[in-house]
Structure 1
């Protein structure tokens, strides 16, 4: 049975009409790919009403905050990469969460020792100042055509009328029952009799509908000032918990919220086999790391090599790029990272020499020295080696939208762990992030906590051009595995010649300079794993699903193909305005 047939058999009810959910769609006009059918429909509705890609992206994101609340929402932050067709340029909107002003590098130390990671996650201490609403406002004011009231309308309807829980949603609640049960406002939304809501249950979120209506009426200030801001600060500093449960509070102030700013940043740029690639700059490490790995891989003609050797080289290039990422990258307003050196083709040629073309490294490798390639006399000192890295959550969401005029958005946003901190803001129905755990708990290193600092992120929304015209977009959730998912999908599509749906559906391998490579369930028993094992690769003991990618492909005949997941995360949703015949 084909991938598309399997997907279209799965039906999603829209009102009283059942419409087939498909992860691949080709047509003309606008296109959208998200992990949620209702989010994709929200984007398409805005496009059909004359909105552009930015308007539609915010509409989809707001709806994802309802249907996929455990991975994203207005309690978090994100990175948006926008291609402006008329101007033929790419801009990025950094609305990553920031550390409250009370933060110091010792905030996660207790008597000189690192605090327990999971305990910090489920607490007010882990919550960063949310940036999503400010980011949406910047996007709409600068590059959109519609108001908050217009783009939030579809999400308000979904939150008010409710949606049906599927097996994936129920599973995510079940995995987080312990965290959610600590906070009454969260338990009231997602638990019944202390257990996860079962598939088929109807979930309404009147609090989130209220929050969105407040934004529709009052704009961005209604989030960062006034009653909603006070509710956020209270939820962070004095979390309302179940009797007998104690969690740490944070130290967020109304001034932290009022002072929050998004950043409009120039994109980081790379090239690969005739493509121009645009991604998020720092504090996003995804773009730099993906492009650095591609620079290393460019030294081999991967398509002419045996598949196992080509994939071996992909894994080793990823290992080297991650070694450099961990050593050098962080918020550019706090750390002068050697990005130009890291993205130098000459530096890549030097790093390439560290790879044995037939044998995997036996464990983590050292970072390289990009400073001789930096060509920047203002960077006199090399930083100290990075400390041991904290675990990085694998839970985020990515969406991508284009419109009839050729504008494109690739957007990844998050609240960090599944369910973030676990704290729902009482009365407003949205979960708060635990993004501060993306900092290293102790130094030395570039990514230690500091007041106002944005923690390093792996999110990697990417737009590719060829011959000056859009070619494809790609992005994924998955914590640090975002980088390898984007990298591997590009290699699959560009080097191995896979259609984008094949490139996304292929088994994912994530090498992040560790002792073993992360894989997905069932991979280790197959021939592909055996061939790579002969090159010395070892697999992590606990296989898990990696990422939930979404992409657009701009075809030579003028059509666009929207592509979402064919089997991961309950299957994604791809829609186009006018289907190709």
Structure 2
């Protein structure tokens, strides 16, 4: 039965987790904040950026120096947070490779980005291995418990979907975490250090703390009502019943203890041990504050679900585009197939003969068509016959590309086509439906080392704040990934590939991507943003490869996201400029701002990327503004 209660005061909570730093050391002036799209730099003009020493950061009194662009040698890291990037760079400088650094960065993100990623979530990792020249992927997506059925998110009395508010903040939405299994498997296959060693920077960060910034406070405030309803969550994130103060230091000794447990016992602690039992107990009996008035549905997870979890290898998706090879994540994610199909559609056009407006028009239409096919065909390949090869075929792209009219945008959603049913080049169109929900949180990182190995890794706990349920005494939030399932069939005639099921992975849009030229890494990129991940990665590639922008410009440019809906979401800077909006509207596009439902600002995505420059330098790039700006670092700004 759902747990029901009314809220009581949490003023008894301990304030000691947040302490103002004493006499902060002088820091470099923070760059003036600029709107997305305002960065105007080229790689050759970048000033070298030297990362701060570990001693400067370890005290918890001073955050690492933060800049969205860095260029240099010996290795690179880009993420949304300077503490996390610093953790990865520390591993690189100690002789670790890109995979080691990716795990260290991800673990640190679990400390400083706890509302987006962590032990309680999952993700997808893509690696180009310089030793073999191969590109590989791991599917660390969460799985549904064995007790889950296609109608688990419906009201048994009416057959209607349960209120989304009830599903999001519940044990029912929690999938079996895949992040620890991903870390352990990636290190065993491609890394050079142990999991225990990779976790050391994150343990130290959790113990000594990080300085709270505006973004962390804003995300906490966004979740305040939910967090207050769970005792361990309120204890951790609302000290003394209050929001954390900007400039205070946040410490998470419980998470440090969890990381130490994983370091000693490996991931068996979660999948076969006491940590797993604690997770199951929390999912099945969420620790609701006595008296809270929220209906919290219990979950279905059992210890056997954890024991059965695996993070399998997947053959990456691959398409050729403008003379490069684009590798990404295959199903259970829809990221690789949808980005790949859209690129194939765009390959049918010639960017040399189009200006920026026509390039954006074709980008929006290609995205619309690819999304229509995504929603119909992509799901967990263990449960559905996903036509990955056909979706990525050039024949199918030609059938879809012929629907694009350079003089007029498509109106309303379009219907999916069947990639297994050749139409001899006939255009395939029809009526479509609404876009399914997918949470907008998540985080992304990229790493590269001096030997040429590159990692692109997207990880998540679903929406910002996940399920809002913290495992007591463990310092991490549980995901609510199972809300990525369709709650009901697509139509009376079509169930669709993304209904819940026992052991099934819900469809994702995560699209960690690596681009090769002549078999060598050129670009690595990815983004958070739920279903907008696909359009964010796609538009960044179009900006860089078709419009000739530098990578910093390509990342910073204002974003548009068309996901087979009647209107196209557009960031404020685009909406405020008539230079491109007006001609696109004359073609029939209709633009609306993105909702700020699960993020503090109306923005689309938050890219972390890198590029291997022609002279061998590494260019690391993060957001200059979105999510408060990201952090790019290189091992050495100059050649030794």
Partner of 1:507: 558
User: Is 1:532 aligned with 2:584?
Assistant: yes
User: How far apart are the structure 2 equivalents of 1:513 and 1:330?
Assistant: 18
User: How far apart are the structure 2 equivalents of 1:195 and 1:6?
Assistant: 41
User: Is 1:555 aligned with 2:606?
Assistant: no
Partner of 2:279: 232
Q: From the superposition, tell whether residues 542 and 92 of structure 1 become closer, same or farther in structure 2 (CA, over 3 Å).
A: closer
Deviations 1:423-464 (A, max 9, x none): 000010000000000000011111000000000000000000
Offset of 1:389 from its aligned partner?
A: 4.6
Instruction: Report SS of the residue matched to 2:569.
Output: coil
User: How far apart are the structure 2 equivalents of 1:270 and 1:184?
Assistant: 48
User: How far apart are the structure 1 equivalents of 2:422 and 2:75?
Assistant: 42
Question: Which shows bigger deviation, 471-480 or 296-305?
Answer: 296-305
Instruction: Report SS of the residue matched to 2:525.
Output: strand
**8 Å Cα contact 1:510/1:519 also seen in 2:** yes
User: How far apart are the structure 2 equivalents of 1:429 and 1:192?
Assistant: 14
Partner of 1:326: 375
Instruction: Report SS of the residue matched to 2:568.
Output: coil
**8 Å Cα contact 1:389/1:440 also seen in 2:** no
**8 Å Cα contact 1:476/1:485 also seen in 2:** yes
User: Is 1:175 aligned with 2:222?
Assistant: yes
Deviations 1:99-145 (A, max 9, x none): 00000001001021101112111000000000110111110111111
TM-score, normalising length from structure 2? Answer: 0.86
Q: Which runs of 5+ in 2 are unaligned?
A: 1-31, 33-37, 425-430, 490-494, 596-601
Which residue, 442, 447, 465 being the options, matches 2:516? 465
Which residue, 56, 67, 70 being the options, matches 1:22? 67
Residues paired across the two proteins, number: 571
Question: How is 1:4-43 mapped onto 2 (pairs within 5 angstroms)?
Answer: 14=57, 15=59, 20-43=65-88
Instruction: Report SS of the residue matched to 1:399.
Output: strand
Partner of 2:472: 426
Partner of 1:253: 302
Which residue, 405, 409, 418 being the options, matches 1:369? 418
User: How far apart are the structure 2 equivalents of 1:548 and 1:215?
Assistant: 29
Q: From the superposition, tell whether residues 53 and 541 of structure 1 become closer, same or farther in structure 2 (CA, over 3 Å).
A: closer
Deviations 1:503-539 (A, max 9, x none): 0000000000011111112421212222211111111
Which residue, 270, 288, 291 being the options, matches 2:340? 291
Partner of 1:378: none
Offset of 1:309 from its aligned partner?
A: 1.5
**8 Å Cα contact 1:123/1:249 also seen in 2:** yes
TM-score, normalising length from structure 1? Answer: 0.95
Which residue, 478, 484, 487 being the options, matches 1:438? 484
User: How far apart are the structure 2 equivalents of 1:195 and 1:119?
Assistant: 25
User: Is 1:497 aligned with 2:542?
Assistant: no
**8 Å Cα contact 1:23/1:566 also seen in 2:** yes
Instruction: Report SS of the residue matched to 2:455.
Output: strand
Instruction: Report SS of the residue matched to 1:391.
Output: coil
Offset of 1:198 from its aligned partner?
A: 2.1
Partner of 1:380: none
Deviations 1:329-382 (A, max 9, x none): 00001111111111111111111111111211111001112113599xxxxxxx
User: How far apart are the structure 1 equivalents of 2:209 and 2:89?
Assistant: 19
Partner of 1:164: 211
User: How far apart are the structure 2 equivalents of 1:86 and 1:554?
Assistant: 17
**8 Å Cα contact 1:340/1:373 also seen in 2:** no
User: How far apart are the structure 2 equivalents of 1:62 and 1:567?
Assistant: 23
User: How far apart are the structure 2 equivalents of 1:213 and 1:222?
Assistant: 11
Partner of 1:265: 314
User: How far apart are the structure 1 equivalents of 2:379 and 2:124?
Assistant: 15
User: How far apart are the structure 1 equivalents of 2:423 and 2:179?
Assistant: 33
Which residue, 124, 137, 140 being the options, matches 2:184? 137
Deviations 1:133-184 (A, max 9, x none): 0111110111111111111000000100111110011000101111111111
User: How far apart are the structure 2 equivalents of 1:7 and 1:206?
Assistant: 35
Partner of 1:381: none
User: Is 1:218 aligned with 2:265?
Assistant: yes
User: How far apart are the structure 2 equivalents of 1:40 and 1:199?
Assistant: 21
Deviations 1:471-530 (A, max 9, x none): 111100000000000000000000000000100000000000011111112421212222
Question: Which shows bigger deviation, 95-104 or 528-537?
Answer: 528-537
User: How far apart are the structure 1 equivalents of 2:457 and 2:564?
Assistant: 26
Which residue, 284, 289, 294 being the options, matches 1:242? 289
Which residue, 74, 81, 89 being the options, matches 1:44? 89
Deviations 1:553-580 (A, max 9, x none): 0111111101100111111111111113
Partner of 1:314: 363
Offset of 1:19 from its aligned partner?
A: 5.0
Deviations 1:307-340 (A, max 9, x none): 1121011101100000000010000011111111
Q: From the superposition, tell whether residues 270 and 138 of structure 1 become closer, same or farther in structure 2 (CA, over 3 Å).
A: same
Instruction: Report SS of the residue matched to 1:372.
Output: coil
Offset of 1:304 from its aligned partner?
A: 2.9
Deviations 1:281-301 (A, max 9, x none): 100100110010011111112
Which residue, 386, 389, 413 being the options, matches 1:337? 386
**8 Å Cα contact 1:341/1:372 also seen in 2:** no
User: How far apart are the structure 2 equivalents of 1:116 and 1:360?
Assistant: 35
Offset of 1:224 from its aligned partner?
A: 1.4
Offset of 1:192 from its aligned partner?
A: 3.5
What stretches of structure 1 move > 6 A for 4+ residues in a row?
Answer: 4-8, 10-13
**8 Å Cα contact 1:474/1:552 also seen in 2:** yes
Deviations 1:14-56 (A, max 9, x none): 2466753111111111111011101111101111111111111
**8 Å Cα contact 1:390/1:441 also seen in 2:** no
Instruction: Report SS of the residue matched to 1:561.
Output: strand
Instruction: Report SS of the residue matched to 2:330.
Output: coil
**8 Å Cα contact 2:558/2:573 also seen in 1:** no
Partner of 2:539: 488
Q: From the superposition, tell whether residues 530 and 6 of structure 1 become closer, same or farther in structure 2 (CA, over 3 Å).
A: farther
**8 Å Cα contact 1:340/1:374 also seen in 2:** no
User: Is 1:454 aligned with 2:505?
Assistant: yes
Q: From the superposition, tell whether residues 74 and 387 of structure 1 become closer, same or farther in structure 2 (CA, over 3 Å).
A: farther
User: How far apart are the structure 1 equivalents of 2:48 and 2:67?
Assistant: 5
